[in-house]
Structure 1
Amino acid sequence: MSDCSSNSRPIDVDNILERLRGLSSAEDFFHTLGILYDGRVLNVARLHILKRMGQYLAEEDFEGLPDRVIAARARSTLERAYSDFESASPLSQRVFKVLKEHDPEKPAEKRGAFVSFEAALKPFAEQ
């Protein structure tokens, strides 16, 4: 367990975006970008952290930048995404569409007319 920004490790910056595309686990991202993390935070919010990192990366323009700048920005986006979930739950952050659509603070949307099971079977009972 550690603060990810103050205890980061040096990383290999060469072709970092291409290498990140090939990673498969949250731990791989943290290791590749040289960021230490609390396993308890990662176990609860790993997909949410990576999704948020992707959202932050999508806001960046890496065109023509040197590898060291790209790596620093990628590291920064992961640190920022991780920080979002250190003290907030995935439910409160609502990164994924399903969580955005299901807000317990908002009343459920009315969807069409309700037909009871009994009413649906009534035509068969009359035959």
Structure 2
Amino acid sequence: MSFEEEMEDLESAEDFLQYFQLDYVPSVVHVNRLHILQRFHDYLQKAADEMPEHEPAKRAIYSKLLMRAYQDFVESDAQTEKVFKVFAMGELSQTAFVSLSDIKT
């Protein structure tokens, strides 16, 4: 199997961490698994232009970026990291105006 094929078989944050043989605290992953995977994805997108073709080098970069994504949530939390738009929305001043003529009973 190629590296890309092996990656396609991975589904959970735990799968990725185990595949790359990275040590992790299950309780941290349990609470932040989607955030870790999204941050990992974001890091991979940023590194895409500089990603080597050589498979061992590529594996090393993936492993480093996954560990970085995991560490973001060891040292912080989901609300602080704001990986998903819903957490950033709270910072924006969002007011809506509904006129009385728009309200119908």
Instruction: Compute the TM-score of the two structures, normalised by the length of structure 2.
Output: 0.85
Q: Where do residues 2-81 of structure 1 align in structure 2 (5 Å cutoff)?
A: 15-60=2-47, 61-62=50-51, 65-81=53-69
For structure 1, the residue ranges without an aligned partner over 5 or more in a row are 1-13, 122-127
Percent same amino acid among aligned pairs?
Answer: 29
Q: Which has the larger radius of gyration?
A: 1
Q: Which moved more, 1:88-97 or 1:53-62?
A: 53-62
Q: What residue identity is the alignment partner of 2:104? A: A
Q: CA deviation at 1:47?
A: 0.5
Work out the CA distance in 2 between the residues paired with 1:110 and 1:102.
12
In the other structure, the counterpart of 1:120 is 104
Gaps of 5+ in 2: none
Equivalent of 2:94, from 109, 113, 119?
109
The residue type paired with residue 95 of structure 2 is K
TM-score by length of 1: 0.71
Tell me the C-alpha RMSD between the 2 structures.
2.1
The C-alpha deviation readout for 1:61-101, integer Å capped at 9, x for no partner, is 325x2110000000000010011000211011000111111
Once the two structures are superposed, what CA deviation does each residue of 1:80-123 show, in whole Å capped at 9, x if it has no partner? 001100021101100011111123xx5x41123255xxx522xx
Q: Displaced runs of 4+ in structure 1, greater than 6 A?
A: none
